[in-house]
Amino acid sequence: MHVVVVVPTYNEAENITGVCDGIRAALPDAEVLIVDDSGPDGTADLARAAGERLGRIEVLERPVKSGLGDAYRAGLAAAVAQGAEICVQMDADRSHDPADLPALVAIVGHGADLAIGSRYVPGGITENWPAVRRWLSRWGNRYAAGVLGLAVNDATAGYRAYRAEALARMDLTTVRAEGYGFQIEMTHRLVRLGGRIVEWPITFRERTEGRSKMSRRIVVEAFGLVLRLWVQDHRGRRQRRRQGG
pTM (predicted TM-score): 0.89
Average pLDDT over residues 124-132: 89
Give 98's contacts (C-beta < 8 A, 6+ positions apart).
19, 22, 23, 25, 26, 27, 90
Q: What is the pLDDT of residue 216?
A: 65
3-class secondary structure, 88:
strand
Q: What is the pLDDT of residue 223?
A: 75
Among the listed residues 206, 208, 204, the one whose alpha carbon sits nearest the alpha carbon of residue 126: 204
Q: Binning pLDDT at 50, 70 and 90, where does residue 207 land?
A: low
Q: Are 76 and 172 in contact (CB under 8 A)?
A: yes
Average pLDDT over residues 48-66: 95
Domain boundaries, the chain: 3-242
Most distant CA atoms of the chain, gap in Å: 60
Q: Binning pLDDT at 50, 70 and 90, where does residue 240 land?
A: low
Q: What is the pLDDT of residue 179?
A: 76
pLDDT in tens, 139-173: 889 999 999 999 999 999 999 999 999 999 999 88
Average pLDDT over residues 88-116: 97
Q: What is the pLDDT of residue 129?
A: 85
For domain 3-242, which architecture applies? Alpha-Beta Complex (3.90)
pLDDT over 80 (residue 217): no
Average pLDDT over residues 86-99: 96
What sections of the chain are H helices per DSSP? Answer: 16-26, 43-54, 68-81, 101-109, 131-148, 164-170, 179-192, 216-242
Q: Are 98 and 23 in contact (CB under 8 A)?
A: yes
